[in-house]
Amino acid sequence: MADPVNLLNLDRGSMQAFFEDMGEKPFRATQIVKWIHQLGVTDFDAMTNLSKLLRSSLPERAEIRLPVITHTQTSVDGTQKWLMQLDATGNCVETVFIPEENRGTLCISSQVGCPLDCRFCATAKQGFNRNLSTAEIIAQLWLAMDQLHQFRDKQHRITNVVMMGMGEPLLNFDNVLPALRLMTDDQAYGLAKRRVTVSTAGVVPGIDRLAQSCNVALAVSLHAANDEIRDRIVPINRKYPLAELLAACKRYAKIQGGESITFEYVMLNGVNDDTAQARQLVRLLADIPAKINLIPFNPFPGAEFHCPDRNRIDAFRDILVKGGFVTTTRKTRGDDIAAACGQLVGQVRARAQRHQPEKVTH
């Protein structure tokens, strides 16, 4: 007999196919999706609107298997970080909840480690082991909601999800997409499509696939206004240089009805933070509907970079604002528990060789 199917791997369409294969009516998929993702129920016997026969037969064909939270940390600012063990080999990822006055943002991981080796990111320093399954991605949302339910207040409600944790989501597209569909499915988590954001360091084919497959917000980890600097700090730029990346962003914005794309820009002292580069960034993004997030660099052990002082960041921001861009300097959250942007490390049992994008020649 085949191993049981983990139902967390299935979006509603795949769930429907699963139950049809069992000889059940398609509406069973909606019932199960509601039980698992809306009500947080993982015991088939507790799913009372299923027939007794189905409840008794499901364990032979299916299971609902979640990662295990092995460690929880809470920052002085209320940010929470959970270390989740994925498998018996000890692979773990980190998931972060950031509470704010009018919203709560959950930062989800998509890979164990990251293959892209961005030089300012702690996650990149641990190398890459494997992709997460759809179940392991959506389980981070399931477990976070379960953990936060105890508070029963608006400050601990998840309103936004960002795929900005460990890993490059668009290099795990086939597993990320069903999770995104569950997040935005009214029968599952029912998040507004513009409140679910996929972040990429610049995987151009993935941007085009996402545009055709799912209506969610896009964030691009840009971090430089020219290829010379970006080649050095974001190595995937050697494969997909800025001209190709920004062309893909324009295609994405057009397909998504002109919605703004968020460009993330980590501020590195003496590297990408002078006013000349701010002006260059204004010219670079001039014909793209864009918002810009400036991210003060968050240090980690062994980091080769430093954060600019506030006056330097403000001068950079002022040029972008004058250029017509909505620009926000991100407030550092959770840095005392290494939960801030670029600090997630988790635990990798066996490191694989990092992906080194080949240089594109023209």
Query: What's the average model confidence in pLDDT over 243-259?
Result: 96
Same CATH topology for 5-63 and 68-337: the answer is no
For residues 232 and 125, the model is more confident at: 232
How much of the chain, in percent, has pLDDT values that exceed 90? 78
Query: What's the average model confidence in pLDDT over 179-195?
Result: 97
Give how far the C-alpha of residue 327 lies from the chain's centroid of Cα atoms, to the nearest Å: 21
The question of whether 341 is a catalytic residue gets the answer: yes
Instruction: Give me the residue spans of the domains in the chain.
Output: 5-63, 68-337
Query: pLDDT at residue 342 above 60?
Result: no
The question of whether 94 is a catalytic residue gets the answer: yes
Query: Which DSSP category does 347 fall into?
Result: B
Least confident range from 195-199, 273-277, 282-286, 354-358: namely 354-358
pLDDT grade for 354, boundaries at 50, 70 and 90: very low
| Single pTM value for the model | 0.90
Query: pLDDT at residue 348 above 70?
Result: no
Query: What's the average model confidence in pLDDT over 227-241?
Result: 97
Which of the following is catalytic: 94, 136, 168, 264? 94
Determine the pLDDT at residue 360. Answer: 36
Per-residue pLDDT tens digits for 53-109 = 999 999 999 999 999 999 999 988 889 999 999 998 889 999 999 998 889 999 999
pLDDT grade for 123, boundaries at 50, 70 and 90: confident
- Are 311 and 271 a contacting pair, CB within 8 Å? no
How much of the chain, in percent, has pLDDT values that exceed 70? 90
Query: What's the average model confidence in pLDDT over 292-302?
Result: 90
pLDDT grade for 340, boundaries at 50, 70 and 90: low
68-337 is classed CATH 1.20.1260.10: no
Q: What is the CATH number of domain 5-63?
A: 1.10.150.530
pLDDT grade for 301, boundaries at 50, 70 and 90: confident
